[in-house]
Structure 1
Amino acid sequence: MRLFASLLCALLLSVAPAFSQTQLAATPPMGWNSWNHFAAHVTDADVRSAADALVSTGMRDAGYVYVNVDDTWQGKRDAQGVLHPNERFPDMKALGDYIHSKGLKFGIYSGPGEKTCGGYAGSLGHEEQDAKMYASWGVDFLKYDLCSFQDNMHKAQAEHPNDPNAANNLMIAAYRKMGDALKATGRPIVYSLCQYGVDQPWKWGPGLGANMWRTTDDIDDSYGRMIAIGFSQAGLSKYAGPGHWNDPDMLEIGNGKMTADEYKTHMSLWVILAAPLLAGNDLSTMTEADKSLLMNKDAIAIDQDSLGKQGDRLYESGDLDVWTKPLSGGRVAVGLFNRSWSVREVSVDLGQIGFPNGGSVRDVWEKKDLGHRSGVVVETLPKHGAALLIVGK
């Protein structure tokens, strides 16, 4: 009997995956994605250049390890249904090998529909086949975009008018199918749901093996859109944690249409939110200001903190916001935000965030310790500005 139990245990261990959902994304994934800057024009050379830049700039060592090819890499399927890349990507396995040779990870893009957002081949009806192909290429991350599958959802709802959940149930089943296919490959592949917050994916995403899910529609390189997305995350903190993260979309820092203070707000808010940090700029043209935001060690440490807690809004007063994020070691990150068009004072009462006797305060963007503070800490912020503090005992 003991021998049988030992053999059974060995068998179970042999078929169990060598990774868990939590281990795969214990902290929010960090890296680079091609879409925000290169969009539909991305090439193999652009991706290799981004991989090189992640290394040469120090971003890889700061934690940015995923190199993600977004939409428009796909070519046509052959008679056996195998999807081949287009002429801009002559050899995806070779591209993945190059990325891995730099100590980085390889990400790719598809969707549950027949077509992707850009009109390229999606994975509908080829989920298992595509997942096996991704694994053979050495893919480490899949962004799975709803887009054209919404047509299928509208059709399902029209065919079942008395079932208000028909469309959403079809969507969840489609995301589950790819999740199961990825798991069956045995390769640890981060599964990123890009479906714009439809039907509250933070409630059902973890059950599908997803590691992150979009909570909003697309971001763009504008202050108004960025804060609309970022501040709409209030109340979602309880749904995030190791292995499963809310995703308010990629970073626009370095793309040039916001001010330095607005980009500072962008980074401050995203790290408080424990958001995946996927840079979306041309890494070859980064300014020192871009680098100082993207690679600030304290800011990254807030995002990647081992406690695995997402921050949330402490209070809002007109155009002023205070957000906090619990950190390991009893510390608290505090984001102070001025959404107004003039210089304003924004304050936080340390007693209200767990420090009735005060605490040590570090200014993240100024890179300096402010010493022991008690009572109310006040920061004077420029229009659309932000301060990011770490408070400890």
Structure 2
Amino acid sequence: MLALALSPAPAGAEPTATSDTPLALTPPMGWNNWAHYMCDIDEATVVANADALVSTGLAAKGYDTVTVDDCWMTKSRDARGALVVDTEKFPHGMAWLGEYLHAKGLKFGIYQDAGSLTCEKYPGSGAPQGGGPDHYAQDARQFASWKVDYVKMDGCNLWVPEGKTKEQAYRDAYNAVAAALRASGRDMVLSASAPAYFQQGEWGGSDWHKVLGWVGETGQLWREGRDIKVYQPAAPATSRWSSVLGNYGYNRWLGRYAGPGNWNDPDFLIAGAPGLSAAEGRSQVALWAMMAAPFILSSDVSELTPEGLAALGNTRMIALDQDPMGRQGAVVSSNATFEILVRPLANGDRAVAVLNRSGAARNINVPLDEIGLPSCTADALDLWSGERREVSETLTGRVGAHDTGVWRLTPRGCGEAVPTGQIVGDGAKCADGANTTGVGAVVLGTCTGAPDQRWTLGRDASLRMAGECLSAGEDGLVELADCAPAEEREPGQSWAHRRDGALVEEASGRCLTAPAAAATPDAPAERLRLAPCGDHRVDQAWALPV
């Protein structure tokens, strides 16, 4: 397993493409019908939304891929095994639709499934249950003949042959999909849904982490968790805010898998659509931009609120999302009220976002040294208002209820940024040096944003807090201890962060391991320890600051 030095160097996967031409070097942008229309989809609806992307100016700002989701085909293939377009819904057919979109300067996306049936029980590309020939190559050629640019490949009803695990079956299926697309004669971006079929809560299980480790070999982006809550026409005012926070919740820890050509996808943008306030819509756009997530709308574009349209079309926020470095931002501080994220950018700037989870507007104070810019002055650009100001020592502002403020900081007279913030592990809890169980002890506790959870990542492979180093102690425990000079580095103070999330103590080759969940809420916190490194162990996966 590849180990990565503890430095600001990007930790994402190498770009992977369906041909020799790298694809999706920035997060894809566009529109998909599912979260607003579900199966109530037809040619007229797709065309109307495509036209609206152009007329609103969103297409010119990058929202250029129009994808038709499930339910576009008939319930059976033809005599030659080809997929059959439902001509009652799409009277001109899919080749015509592709031509129409291309003439508008847009790209054409389509939905299929790696299993035997789609999620809505239309013909899938995969082998039938019980075994038999698949249709991966045939469907890829058919999509290429329609000049499709983007394929969303779902993962319902996938057959698991005897003797294989579910994880192995999905890996084989999605590798076959990728090979078929490469052989089709046309470059098509692949959105792979494999990880979503293994998610077990926010932190996930072992198989989920395994799938996240290989899915970038197959596609350029992937759905790794729950769907965003769909629009309910019968109850349009139903809030969808908790769904936005839930999808943000599972995606925020996975930055190590992201990079040019590989993107974590927490599902569709619904800003400006029913179910979110103006502030909540801004928050979704801001958080997705900080996470380098795909900007794919799923709404009636012609009915977007003015506030939602302004947020989605904010060119400063789009530039943040599309930053060519492709580094996903990380949570550097969190508690029940605030969450602070930092994202390094290609030109040396650092983006900072502050999410206000509470129901009231609040003042914020973010010391620059707590976001990796010690002894620093910076020019701060408010990405919402466009206002610029000089910031010395502390970024201040006011963030509304459920809103997210975002600033782009250009350091002046500073040294190189130092990755600073939380080390987050199993259960989305924080490595804490509060010394509640002994001098130098490090435990796993609820994230508070307090100084005893603020770590810095040294270029010398150290993990530091308040001038002390995370060190291998006695009996397999870890502790905070005096940092030895680099030239006299003691064994046990050098760490490597692997792509699977493991933090490896280099002298012993063992992994930092979270304790088991406490039996009762008031049980004393157990200390972190070193243990033999396992295969994608959930209690050995860690998210680090950037």
Q: Give the TM-score of the pair, scaled to structure 2.
A: 0.65
Q: Which of 121, 124, 142 is the equivalent residue of 1:122? A: 124
Which position in structure 2 is the counterpart of 1:9?
Answer: none
Aligned counterpart for 1:340 among listed residues 358, 370, 379: 358
Which letter does structure 1 place at the counterpart of 2:394?
A: V
Distance 2:280 2:113 in 1: 32
Q: How does 1:22-37 map to 2 (within 5 A)?
A: 23-37=22-36
Which amino acid is the alignment partner of residue 241 of structure 1? G
Tell me, in whole angstroms, the C-alpha distance in 2 between the residues paired with 1:388 and 1:177.
Answer: 41
- The more displaced of 320-329 and 350-359 is 350-359
The answer to whether the 8 Å contact 2:24/2:260 transfers is yes
Alignment of 1:82 onto 2:91: no
The equivalent of 1:96 in structure 2 is 98
- Whole-Å separation in 1 of the counterparts to 2:155 and 2:364: 39
State the 1:197 CA deviation.
5.9
2:377 corresponds in structure 1 to 358
More helix by share: 1
In the alignment, the residues of structure 2 paired with residue 329 and residue 113 of structure 1 have an alpha-carbon distance, to the nearest angstrom, of 43
2:268 pairs, out of 244, 247, 250, with 250
Q: Is 1:147 matched with 2:156?
A: yes
The answer for the alignment partner of 1:218 in structure 2 is: 227
Instruction: Give, in whole Å, the separation in 2 of the partners of 1:282 and 1:146.
Output: 26
Quote the residue 1:278 is aligned against: 296
Q: Secondary structure at the match of 1:270?
A: helix
2:258 maps to which of 240, 245, 270: 240
Residue in structure 1 matched with residue 349 of structure 2 by the alignment: 331
Equivalences for residues 1-393 of structure 1 within 5 A: 19-20=19-20, 23-75=22-74, 76-86=76-86, 87-90=88-91, 91-124=93-126, 125-149=134-158, 152-153=159-160, 156=161, 159-160=162-163, 166-195=165-194, 196=196, 198=198, 199-200=208-209, 201-208=211-218, 210-220=219-229, 222-355=240-373, 356-369=375-388, 371-393=389-411
Tell me the CA shift for residue 238 of structure 1. 1.5
- Distance in 1 (alpha carbons) for counterparts of 2:252 and 2:135: 37
Cα gap change, 1:197 to 1:321, in 2 (>3 Å): farther
How many angstroms does 1:20 deviate by? 3.7
* Letter matched to residue 147 of structure 1: C
Alpha-carbon distance in 2 for matches of 1:228, 1:346: 23
- Counterpart residue type for residue 256 of structure 1: P
Q: CA deviation at 1:186?
A: 2.4
Change (3 A) 1:361 1:197: farther
Query: Alpha carbon RMSD of aligned pairs, Å?
Result: 1.6
Structure 1 gaps, min length 5: 1-16
**2:274 and 2:187 mapped to 1: Cα distance?**
35
Cα distance in structure 2, aligned partners of 1:283 and 1:235 = 30
Code of the residue aligned with 2:136 in structure 1: it is: E
Contact 2:271–2:280 (Cα < 8 Å) also in 1: no
Partner SS for 1:99: helix
- Cα distance in 1 for residues equivalent to 2:404 and 2:378: 21
SS at structure 2 position matched to 1:329: coil
Distance 2:178 2:52 in 1: 31
SS in 2 for 1:330: coil
Partners of 2:319 and 2:300 lie apart in 1 by 24
DSSP 3-state at the match of 2:227: coil
The offset of 1:240, in angstroms, is: 0.4
Measure the CA separation in 1 of the matches of 2:309 and 2:227.
24
For 1:218, give the aligned amino acid: D
The whole-number CA distance in structure 1 between the counterparts of 2:178 and 2:292 is 23
Letter aligned with residue 307 of structure 1? M
Deviation of residue 39 (structure 1)?
A: 0.9
**Which deviations, in whole Å up to 9, do the C-alpha atoms of 1:244-294 show, x marking residues without a partner?**
111111111122111111111111100000000101110111222121011
The 1:317/1:305 distance shift into structure 2, 3 A limit, reads same
Distance 1:255 1:293 in 2: 12
Q: In 2, Cα distance between the equivalents of 1:293 and 1:20?
A: 35
Cα deviation, 1:47-86, whole Å, max 9, x if unaligned, reads 1111111111111110111000001001131111011111
Structure 2 unpaired stretches of 5+: 1-16, 127-133, 199-207, 231-239, 412-546
Answer yes or no: is the 8 Å Cα contact 2:18–2:189 preserved in 1: no
1:267 and 1:106 map into 2 onto residues whose CA distance is: 23
For 2:19 and 2:346, how far apart are their aligned partners in 1? 24
SS at match of 2:167: helix
Q: Does the residue aligned with 2:326 lie in a helix, a strand or coil?
A: coil
Alpha-carbon distance in structure 2 between the residues aligned to 1:118 and 1:374: 55
Query: How far off is 1:231 after superposition?
Result: 2.6
Partner AA of 2:89 in structure 1 = R
Deviates more, 1:270-279 or 1:217-226: 217-226
Indicate if the aligned counterparts of 2:273 and 2:308 stay in contact, CA closer than 8 A: no
Q: 1:12 — aligned with what?
A: none
Instruction: Pick the structure with greater CA Rg.
Output: 2
Q: Distance in 1 between matches of 2:19 and 2:386?
A: 37
- Give me the whole-angstrom Cα distance separating, in 2, the residues matched to 1:166 and 1:301: 41
**Higher alpha-carbon deviation: 282-291 or 184-193:** 282-291
Q: Give the secondary-structure state (helix, strand or coil) at the position aligned to 1:278.
A: strand
Q: Distance in 1 between matches of 2:20 and 2:118?
A: 29
- In structure 2, C-alpha distance between the alignment counterparts of 1:59 and 1:249, rounded to whole Å: 19
What whole-Å deviation, never above 9, does each CA across 1:335-371 have from its counterpart, x for those lacking one? 10111222333332222334332200011111221x1
What code does the residue aligned with 1:83 have? L
Cα contact 1:202–1:246 (8 A) shared by 2: no
